[in-house]
A and B are shown apart, each in its own frame.
Chain A
Amino acid sequence: MDHFTKRLRYVLKRLLQAVPIILAIVIVNFFLLQLAEGDAVDVLAGEAGSATPEYMAELRAKFGLDQPLIVQLGLYLKNVALFDLGYSFRHEMPVLDLVLDRFFATMLLMVSTIVLAVGFGILLGLLAATGLNTWRDTAISIFALITYATPLFWVGLMLIVVFSLNLGWFPTSGMENIAMFYEGWDRVWDIAHHLVLPTITLSLFYLALYTRLMRASMLEQAGQDYVTTARAKGLTERRIMFVHVLRNALLPVVTMAGVQVGALIGGSVIVESVFAWPGLGMLAFEALFARDLNLLLGIFLLSALLVVAVNLVVDIIYSTLDPRIEVE
């Protein structure tokens, strides 16, 4: 019980601490984005073909871009406090709707990628570490590295050429078959079918990281004093390896996976672009080049919330795996 309240208090404290961070993130991002030349109106007017300066001034007034920066920031913060992320200049839709609409697609790609990469990474890392310096170790290392070092778009395009064009197993791109507009389970199956190639492409990239981290971590732990102690106590190598070493070796892997969840939202711009996957990465990319600052700030804010939450969870898992790290 005491332990539980201690932990609860810790979580609350962390959540409270998160508020100023989120605030700081919004403010820093807000000013960072102001450094970019041009604004949403320049883009819209440029795309439209020709627009008069009067029209552009009117648009700026409509978007509130004619206000002094500090007023714009104040308004934005006020809205955020009321859980309102504002309006996208370009899409003429509430930012929250746009972001939530893409969030599902992003999470789908992100979670399946992480699961695949961490799962295979742990397995391969374990296999490599237990066969240290044998051909198995070398082969795994080199395989992981090659998948990592091959440019993502090249892997993506090659998978499309082989599995979509030549074998016809998977669709080239998109999230759904839009000639059919499936419903119910057919739709789930259809989305899963579309998910395969982008997930493989993206997880190949992350596979190396987890494999290597797992291997290094296993070796690191295998040299620790407690292993010697355990050996002295007469525990079998198998038991030492798979119970004691493995448990501790997962620590850095979990940290990294946590760190990566945040990065994956943005890290998939290339995969989303190649596979026309409607994720947040492409949305952010397009928002940046359209100077749709409300939308971009909204995405950053969401990603910040996600990272803060994930870090908290990682820290809790951390303290569970390694009791020497205190939760204070």
Chain B
Amino acid sequence: MSGLNWLRGALMASGLIATALTANAQQSGGTFVYLVQPEPPSLASYLSTSGPIGLVAPKIYDGLFDYDNDLNIVPALAESHEVSEDGKTVTFNLRQGVKWHDGEPFTSADVQFTVMEVLKKVHPRGPNSFREVTSIDTPDDHTAVFNLENPAPYMLRALSGYESPIVPKHLLEGQDPRSADLANNPVGTGAYKFTEWKKGQYVRLDKNEDYWKPGLPYIDRVVGRFIPDASTRTAAMENGEVLYGAYGAIPNIDAVRLNEMDGISVTTDGYSMINPMALIEFNTTKPPFDNPAVRQAISLVIDREFLIENIWFGYGKPATSALSSNYAPTGLYKDGLPNFPQNGDVAAATAVLDEAGVTPDGDGVRASFTLDLIPYGEDWRRAGEYMKQALGEIGIQVDLRYEDVPTWIKRIYADYDFQMNVNYFYQLPDPVLGVHRQYGTDQIRQGTAFVNSSRYSNPELDALLAAGATEPDAEKRSAIYADIQKILANDLPVANVFEMEFLTVYNDKLRDHATSALGAYGPFERAWIEQ
């Protein structure tokens, strides 16, 4: 434990040193090879928020904004913006002289088309991010005026090239964006142009010579490599064949080891817009989890520190609420809530069960059920195996079930044929974007993945969520979210387990890659390679 803490300290220090070194003159040229895992289904980031697409597409498509590591807005396609007094009109002043990779000029019509016809209609999170947008006016080629129904402060956090890529109107107009050829032959305004996708091997991008940021990018060629096996990914990183791997491409245990090697570093930066949270979804409509006491007992008995230390090798923070503590700077996070002991509390869990009348039978079994595990890698299996043991201690008997992705998604989100499910959600930079979908009654959407599968429905909470979404006053908003978190800490339709920390492992030859809050989902326009 202390060893790992020390290590993390050292890690941060090495990050600082790396930053200090970047005062050197940037060098041009070179091929930047990085890990993309698994192979993306397409490169249509306007259709899918799938992780591997995010690793490639934002290098091709720009957003209106980028965000720096402190989540401040950095102008991108929008040079500046103004929000009206009542919060219902947002005007974007667009950059002039920007060209699409095919040479066509970029205009406000592209922004209007992207938001109204693409993101609001076919993007998984777009309908939510832009739900208050009723229309977009384009008084001239370089001005886009968003007219809103209600103020939507969170919208300004959702305008990155990853979350809301601006796509070329002239290549999508008049077609169904879902089946357009653009998905496999992307054309954007970004720092790199799409060149080739060799299925099963790599996707290749080349430098955009006409990029709108003068002098950028430095790198000639960007190649995303697909390597299915985790140990091989580590070996390729060790051998210098790839320079960068993020989102768990390198398993934590190997990252810890590689970090000790010369020339390779590890960072947890670049995930502040993502806010991943490991959690348990309970089926609140069926025994035993229709009883809040059983849900509380599970949250009480799990040793969150143990999971983090032994399965994620020290990377992560025990969850303490329905919201991630990363929301603390915005004032939305509330601490000191019940039912989130760091190290598990067997006595408290037993007491809760006894009090609720969930008592052991002749064999000492209080309840038995099947625990489903998210099929996204070995770590989750280990977590399930740990939980099975931990729950056994309070007389809850668990069978583990680990199925493939389609079977699992259908079981949890279409058939609701589960009792307790281990999963993780991205809470994103605002709870409206990432958290509401898990609790609202309107988010019980059979057949839609990653929404309210617990089927928890509480009118009081629904009212609070609705108020929280539109409240422009920061203080009032934080009071609303405090109430939300209090309700959820007791009802626990979903028990948050820990705030995940993804790791980025990189070769020190690669510089200035962590300039965006989006990290690996960022544009990489300023990155360069030391020759």
Interface residues, chain A, with chain B CB atoms under 8 Å away: 36-40, 42-53, 55-56, 58-59, 62, 90-93, 98, 101-102, 105, 153, 157, 160-161, 164-165, 168, 171-176, 178-180, 272-276, 278-279, 282-283, 286, 288-291
Q: Which residues of A contact B410 (CB under 8 A)?
A: 37-38, 42
Q: Which residues of B contact A59 (CB under 8 A)?
A: 178
Interface of B is mostly: loop
B409 partner, pick from A42, A102, A153, A179, beta carbons under 8 A? A42
Q: A172 contacts B235, CB within 8 Å?
A: yes
Q: B41 contacts A276, CB within 8 Å?
A: no
Q: A50 contacts B404, CB within 8 Å?
A: no
Q: B405 contacts A43, CB within 8 Å?
A: yes
Q: B199 contacts A49, CB within 8 Å?
A: no
Question: CA of A160 to CA of B437 in the docked complex: distance in angstroms?
Answer: 44
Q: Which residues of B contact A175 (CB under 8 A)?
A: 201
Question: CA of A45 to CA of B449 in the docked complex: distance in angstroms?
Answer: 7
Flag the segment in B42-50, B287-295, B461-469 that touches A.
B42-50
Question: CA of A247 to CA of B241 in the docked complex: distance in angstroms?
Answer: 48
**Other contacts beyond A91-B199, A276-B226, A282-B228: 16, CB < 8 A:** A45-B409, A46-B450, A47-B50, A49-B49, A51-B124, A55-B122, A62-B179, A157-B232, A172-B235, A172-B236, A174-B236, A178-B33, A276-B228, A276-B232, A286-B38, A290-B405
Q: A37 contacts B407, CB within 8 Å?
A: yes
Q: B50 contacts A291, CB within 8 Å?
A: no
Please tell me if B204 contacts chain A, counting CB pairs below 8 Å: yes
Q: Which residues of A contact B407 (CB under 8 A)?
A: 36-38
User: Which residue on chain B has the smallest CB distance to residue A43?
Assistant: B406
Q: B227 contacts A276, CB within 8 Å?
A: yes
Interface of A is mostly: helix
Please tell me if B134 contacts chain A, counting CB pairs below 8 Å: no
Query: With contacts A49-B124, A178-B223, A291-B406 known, is A160 near B235, CB below 8 A?
Result: yes
Interface residues, chain B, with chain A CB atoms under 8 Å away: 31, 33, 38-39, 41-42, 47-50, 122, 124-125, 178-179, 183-184, 198-202, 204, 223, 225-229, 231-232, 235-236, 238-239, 241, 403-407, 409-411, 413-414, 437, 445-451
Q: B449 contacts A50, CB within 8 Å?
A: yes
Total cross-chain contacts (CB, 8 A): 164
Question: CA of A39 to CA of B404 in the docked complex: distance in angstroms?
Answer: 12
Q: Which residues of A contact B204 (CB under 8 A)?
A: 178
Q: A274 contacts B406, CB within 8 Å?
A: no
Q: Which residues of B contact A176 (CB under 8 A)?
A: 201
Q: A36 contacts B232, CB within 8 Å?
A: no
- A-B pairs with lowest CB-CB distance, top 5: A38-B406, A278-B200, A48-B48, A49-B49, A49-B124
Q: B41 contacts A49, CB within 8 Å?
A: no
Question: CA of A180 to CA of B220 in the docked complex: distance in angstroms?
Answer: 12
Question: CA of A279 to CA of B201 in the docked complex: distance in angstroms?
Answer: 10
14 CB contacts below 8 A, A to B, read A37-B406, A46-B449, A46-B450, A51-B448, A62-B179, A157-B232, A165-B239, A178-B31, A178-B33, A179-B31, A179-B241, A276-B232, A289-B405, A290-B405
Q: A39 contacts B406, CB within 8 Å?
A: yes
Question: CA of A179 to CA of B219 in the docked complex: distance in angstroms?
Answer: 12
Q: Which residues of B contact A58 (CB under 8 A)?
A: 178
